[in-house]
Amino acid sequence: MKWEEVCQAFPDQWVLIEAIQANTNDESERILEEVAPLKKFSNSPEAMKAYQELHRENPSRELYVLHTSRKNPNIIEKKWVGVRR
Please write the tens of the pLDDT for every residue from 55-69.
999 999 999 999 999
CB 63 within 8 A of CB 16: yes
Query: What's the pLDDT band for 83 if we cut at 50, 70, 90?
Result: confident
| pTM, 2 dp | 0.89
For residue 85, pLDDT over 80 is answered with no
| Cα gap 71→39, rounded to integer Å | 19
| Phi and psi angles of residue 48, each rounded to the nearest 5 degrees, phi first | -65, -35
Domain holding 26, by residue range, is 3-75
Q: Is residue 80 part of a domain?
A: no
Residue 56 forms part of a structural domain: yes
In a domain, 20, yes or no: yes
- Number of folded domains that form the chain: 1
Whether residue 53 lies inside any domain: the answer is yes
pLDDT digit string, tens, across residues 9-64 = 999 999 999 999 999 999 999 999 999 999 999 999 999 999 999 999 999 999 99
Give residue 78's pLDDT: 86
61: in domain: yes
